[in-house]
Each structure stands twice: as structure tokens, then as C-alpha cells.
Structure 1
Amino acid sequence: MDLTERAYSLAESLLSEPLPRRWSHSLGVAERARSLRPILGKDAELMEAAAVLHDVGYSPRIASTGFHPLDGARFLRDQEAMDERVVRLVAHHSCALLEAEERGLRKDLETEFELERPALVDALIFCDMTTTPDGECTTSQARLAEIIQRYGPDTIVGRFIQRAAPEIHAAVQRVEDQLAHAHEAGQPI
């Protein structure tokens, strides 16, 4: 079984029944990852695998700290021996260090999992933060507003996402610029 097949199977087994909306979101994020193939090159499969797995830490079967990037990455590393780069992307997806700081877990996340290269970090931020909870495409502005509304502005998630907003929007813009450049260069998008 190749990396993406394994990732889809595992994510489905952890999310589809207990968290169907989270599963729909993960499928949408993976679809966004596929749309980045023209700019990802040899890392396209890796990104799609990370995209479909990015929220597995929400699964009641594996949640332990309540911080899904850390729980998901630990599970993928320790129980599944998943590709190290996929694990790092899951651990650090969508500015997770800032949320880890809010939760008192920044040192744990930083010491256990290295950051992946910036272009891939940006790509996963783009995929996650331009996909609604139901798996549809959206803007990063609308996505962040939805997150703040859902969790509340004064919650851990609300505070984190407001702090992370400038970096999220900048990462999305960098990816959109790369896609536009690829389109201008005649690459199929």
C-alpha cells in the first residue's frame, strides 16, 4: 500500500464514524492538496498524505493531551511508524506552535517534532485554512472567522487563531502566488 492509500485508510478508520464532519473536512483538505501538485512536484504525495491525516489527533481513540496536532503526530510516529515528514507536518500544521504555547505544550511540540521545510508548512496551512469544516473551499478570512465564531474569541483556540491570523493569511498568499506563477508559466493547474 502506498503512502497516500495508507493515509486515507488510517484517517478514515479514525475519523469517519466518530467525527464525520472532521472526516469531511480532512477529505476536503486532501483535495486541496491534490490541487497543489503543480507547485509541489515530488512532495505532492507527501502533502496529500499529511493533509488527510492532519486532524487524526481529534479521534477519541488516540486523543490524550487534548491538543490534536501533538496527539496525532505522536500516534502516527509511535503506533503507525508513519513517514517522518508526514508526522512533522501533522505536528506543526496551521501554526500549531502558537496553540501549543496557549496550552503550555510548546516545549513538548518543539522538542519532539522538527519543523518541515517552510514551503510545505505553507502548503498545509493553505489546504487546511481554505477548507470549511464540511470540506468545501473557502477563503482564509472566512475560515478564521468561522473558527473564532465556533470556539469563541476568548477560548484557547480563539486566542491562538487570532494570534496566528497574520501568518496564516501570509502563507495562503504565498501559495496562491506560487499557483499563479505556475499558471503563468503554462503548467496545468
Structure 2
Amino acid sequence: MDEVTMDWATWVAEAELGDVLPRRWAHSQGVGARAAEVGRVLGKDADVLIAAATLHDVGYAPRLAVTGFHPLDGARFLRDEHGADERLVRLVANHSFALLEAEERGLREELANEFPLLEEPLLVDALVYCDMTTTPDGGRTTAEERVSEILGRYGDDSVVGRFIRRAAPEIFTAVGRVEAALEAQPR
């Protein structure tokens, strides 16, 4: 990954989300900015984190919503229409414990078979951290506040509500691991 790839990621996300889903675009920009800060603990993987953070919600774009499950729709779009880097596509497909939501939607096997989870724990955790510490408007928040906000927006008994309640302990653990890595890293 390089500056060109990060510029490309911003261009694609803005083109797909900017006009039709401006709040989702604001969130994606905030997640990308958070990734730029967190990237210092990832070294050479900082660029792929920033690109994935910027593109993680691209599957919400109405023209891309085939299954209605944005991680899967976004990953397929990036792979099929853009021939994007496999690691980037797999991060988008699996961001923020997407396998748990895929299970709620009956899509777990499809997601897992098509886009296996990366075996790069800190990189995967870093994307969770960036997404789950950014508000829908792109501001900063805590993971606990973000989970509460998601539950409030979708409701406890919705697919997303059931997923986020199941995922919350994993989200908090992943965020804690990234916070510990950030604290251990010299500034």
C-alpha cells in the first residue's frame, strides 16, 4: 500500500457514499483519520489499515447493497469492480466482528468461505478500534458509548442489536489490546 492507494480509497469511498449517504461518509472519514493515528503501532501495515478504515462501510451504498449485509457487499464490490488488494478486501469483509452479524443474517459460511479472516490480530483489532471509537458523524467516542449508540439506533431485538450485544465483549477486548499497544508505543 502507498499514498496512491490511500488516495484511491478516499476517492472510492467518497464517490460511493459522499452524496447518497453523507453521514456514513463522515463516519468513514473519521474512522480513516483514527486509523492514521493508530497506524504508528502497525509499521508497514499502517497504509492498509487506513485504506480499510476509509472503505469499511462502502457496502452501505445503495447501488452496492446486493445482500443487504454491508461488509460482504463492500468486499465484493472492491474485489470485483476494483481488483483491490486481497488483504484490504478481507479486512473490509470482516471488520468489527462481521462474522457474528453474518451468522445472524444466515451468511456466516458465505462470508467465511469467500473472505477468510486475516491471521493478523493487531491489524484486525486496529480496524475494530477505529470503527468502534468513532461516532456516526466522525467524532471520537468510547467503545462503550458506540455500542450503546448502535443499540439505541437499531434496537435490542433487531439483527444489528442482537449482533452488537454478542460482539460487545469481543469489541471491548480488541479495543483494550489496541489501547495497550498505543500506550506501549513511544510517541
* TM-score of the pair, normalised by structure 1: 0.96
Match of 2:22 in 1: 20
The CA distance in 2 between the partners of 1:114 and 1:104, in whole Å, is: 16
- Say if 2:180 is the partner of 1:177: yes
Match of 1:6 in 2: 8
SS at match of 2:82: coil
Match of 1:53 in 2: 55
The CA distance in 1 between the partners of 2:107 and 2:97, in whole Å, is: 13
SS at match of 1:174: helix
The CA distance in 1 between the partners of 2:53 and 2:124, in whole Å, is: 11
User: Which amino acid in structure 2 is aligned with residue 148 of structure 1?
Assistant: L
Match of 1:130 in 2: 133
Match of 1:36 in 2: 38
CA offset at residue 181 of structure 1?
Answer: 0.5
User: Which amino acid in structure 1 is aligned with residue 15 of structure 2?
Assistant: S
User: Which amino acid in structure 2 is aligned with residue 154 of structure 1?
Assistant: D
**Contact 2:39–2:50 at 8 Å: present in 1 too?**
no
User: Which amino acid in structure 2 is aligned with residue 75 of structure 1?
Assistant: F
- Say if 2:65 is the partner of 1:63: yes
SS at match of 2:62: coil
User: Which amino acid in structure 2 is aligned with residue 156 of structure 1?
Assistant: V
**Any unmatched runs of 5+ in structure 2?**
none
SS at match of 1:123: helix
- Identical pairs, percent: 61
SS at match of 1:2: helix
The CA distance in 2 between the partners of 1:132 and 1:30, in whole Å, is: 12
Match of 2:92 in 1: 90
CA offset at residue 37 of structure 1?
Answer: 2.2
Runs of 4+ residues over 3 Å off in structure 1: none
Match of 1:142 in 2: 145
Please point out which of 154, 159, 162 is paired with 1:156. Answer: 159
Give me the CA root mean square deviation. 0.7
Match of 1:165 in 2: 168
User: Which amino acid in structure 2 is aligned with residue 14 of structure 1?
Assistant: E
SS at match of 2:100: helix
